[in-house]
Amino acid sequence: MVKQPNMKLIGLFICCSVLTIFLMFGYFIKSKLDTDEALVVMYFDESVKGLDVGAPVLFKGVKIGEVSQVKLLANLKTMNFLIAVYAKIYHGKSLVTNKNDRKEEWDRFINEGLRARLAINSVITGQLLIELNMLPDTKVVLRKMPKDSDIFEIPTLNSPFAEISKSLQVMPINRIMQNINSLTESLSADVPPFLVKLNAALDTFDTILN
C-alpha cells in the first residue's frame, strides 16, 4: 500500500520557501535604497598601478568599503594628470552618521585630519589598497571636479614609497658618485704606502719578539 504524502508538511514547506524568498527580496531592495551608503572620491597624482576595482578601503585597519571605479583625468592644456578613485563605503560603516547634515559632519572629519593614501596590500602580487587615517598635521588639498560636486571628497597624501621615489629623483646622484670616486682614488693612493709602513712595523715587532 502506497503511503499518501503529508499535504500539510508540503504546504508548510512551500509557505516557508515563499516567505524566505520575499524576505531576501526585501533585504535586497532595502540595501539598494538605503541612503546610509556613501560614495567617495579621492584624487591621486602618483601612479596607482596595482589598485584595482574591488580593492579594500581601510580606516585604521578596519575594512569599511572597496574601490568601485578608477579613472584617468587629463588636462591637455597644462598636461597635468590625475587619477580619480571612487570608493563605496559599506552599509552601516559610513563615517558620516548624521543624515540631516552630512556635509557639515563630513567637513568636520576633513578639518580634523581625515586623509587617504595608497598602501601595499600584497608584497607578492604588488596589489594596493586605500588607507584612511586621521592625520591632523597634514595639509588639506581638494581637487574636486565639477561633475563630482555631489560626491564627498577625501583629501589624499603621497604614499611612503612615492615620497621615497621623489626624494631619489631630487638627490644629487652625480655629485655623490663623484665624491665616491674621489674617495676611492684617494684611498688607492694612500693605502699602498701605509701598507709598506705597516709591514715594516710588523717586521720590527717580530724581531723584538725573537
Write out pLDDT tens, residues 42-69.
999 888 989 999 999 999 889 999 999 9
Confidence label for 33 from pLDDT (cuts 50, 70 and 90) = very low
Mean pLDDT along residues 80-106: 78
Sheet-wide strand order for 80-89: 114-120, 128-134, 56-59, 62-75, 80-89, 38-44, 152-153
Place of cell 597644462: 78
pLDDT at site 36: 53
108 vs 141: CA distance, rounded Å: 15
- Residue pair 54/134 in contact by the 8 Å Cβ criterion: no
Predicted structure pTM score: 0.61
Mean pLDDT, the chain, integer: 77
Dump the DSSP string for 145-198.
-GGGTTSEE--B---HHHHHHHHHHHS-HHHHHHHHHHHHHHHHHHHHHHHHHH
Lowest mean pLDDT among 69-78, 84-93, 99-108, 168-177: 168-177
166 vs 77: CA distance, rounded Å: 24
Between residues 119 and 23, the one the model is more confident about: 119
Mean pLDDT along residues 152-174: 69
